[in-house]
Amino acid sequence: MSAEIIYGNVLAKEMREEMKQEVDQLRSVGKRIPCLAVILAGNNPASLSYIKGKEKACQQIGIDSCMFHLDENCSQSDLEKKIRECNEDENIDGILVQLPLPEGLNEDRALKCIDPKKDVDGLHPENVGKLFLNKKGFVPCTPKGVIELLKRAGCDFDGRRAVVIGRSKLVGSPVARLLQNENATVTICHSHTKDVRSISKEADIVVVAVGKPKLIDASYIKKGAYVIDVGVNRLPDGHLCGDCDFDSVKEIAGYVTPVPKGVGPMTITMLLKNTMEAYFSKGER
């Protein structure tokens, strides 16, 4: 048996096309266009490339984006002042502070400054709390993309056993909570977990977000399971690979995401989705 491959790039393209049509519709009736503000402090090369990708994605669906590039040596109060200006600007719907911040800047304080109604990265404590209370709020983009991929692949969560390998605040923990909110029975594994293999082998749904190339092979997977590989690792030969050994896992799983073309393209798509939701929740319709 070979698993069905869940191509995130295909789903992301479909979703972006749907959003583009919504934006075209707004434009055709002369409405204001949604706008995402991205605040970058410093010149981290990976961050510069990520924000370019975000700007390009906004252009693709026809929404506005504004980039605020602060100096590497900017102060905490410079950063918070810029965030507050964006909070107050009625033409801005979503605000994203690109992480990590340069040394000396306090991430928690910066995130707390964002208006929770514009917090399209879902990292403000109010939105984190809402996720954990199963109340409506902004959900971080990668975890939201994971659930969307599973749903569109026809996964029925109710009463299913799910295992999340990794418990980071950006990926593993919110994914686990979202799965629980969908009524799955969830176990979280981390670096102190004994015998991850036997726990994972019991699961109908396995989400892997560890950051270790090809850590998970077929011996960790139950026949027919849904496997979502969030990991992105650069191999010595320059190729990208996930946390799963794809060729091995696909022989036993029912459904599996590849790397690249799996979870990655969904992350920015969910940022666009959250920005659209922020716009419409302001009553712009």
List of residues 6+ apart from 33 with CB closer than 8 A: 23, 26, 27, 62, 63, 64
Question: Using only C-alpha atoms, what is the Rg of the chain?
Answer: 19
What CA–CA distance (Å, rounded) separates 41 from 31?
A: 32
Could you give the C-alpha distances from 130 to 23, 39, 135, 140, in angstroms and in order?
28, 24, 5, 12
Our finding on whether 146 is near ligand NAP (CB under 6 A) is: no
Instruction: Reply yes or no on whether 98 is catalytic.
Output: yes
Q: Which of residues 172-201 bind ligand NAP (CB under 6 A)?
A: 172, 189-193, 196
Our finding on whether 150 is near ligand NAP (CB under 6 A) is: no
Our finding on whether 62 is near ligand NAP (CB under 6 A) is: no
User: Rounded to a whole number, what is the distance in angstroms from the first to the last CA of the chain?
Assistant: 48
Our finding on whether 40 is near ligand NAP (CB under 6 A) is: no
Stretch that binds ligand NAP, among 37-45, 51-59, 91-99, 166-174 (CB under 6 A): 166-174
CB of 209 to ligand NAP, least distance (A): 4
Instruction: Reply yes or no on whether 201 is catalytic.
Output: no
Residue 190 one-letter amino acid: H
Q: At what angle do helices 8-28 and 264-281 cross, to 10 degrees?
A: 30
Our finding on whether 267 is near ligand NAP (CB under 6 A) is: yes
Instruction: Reply yes or no on whether 121 is catalytic.
Output: yes
**In the bound complex, which residue of the shown chain has the CB atom lying closest to ligand NAP?**
168
Q: Which of 41, 123, 210, 225 binds ligand NAP (CB under 6 A)?
A: 210
As annotated, the active-site residues are 54, 98, 121
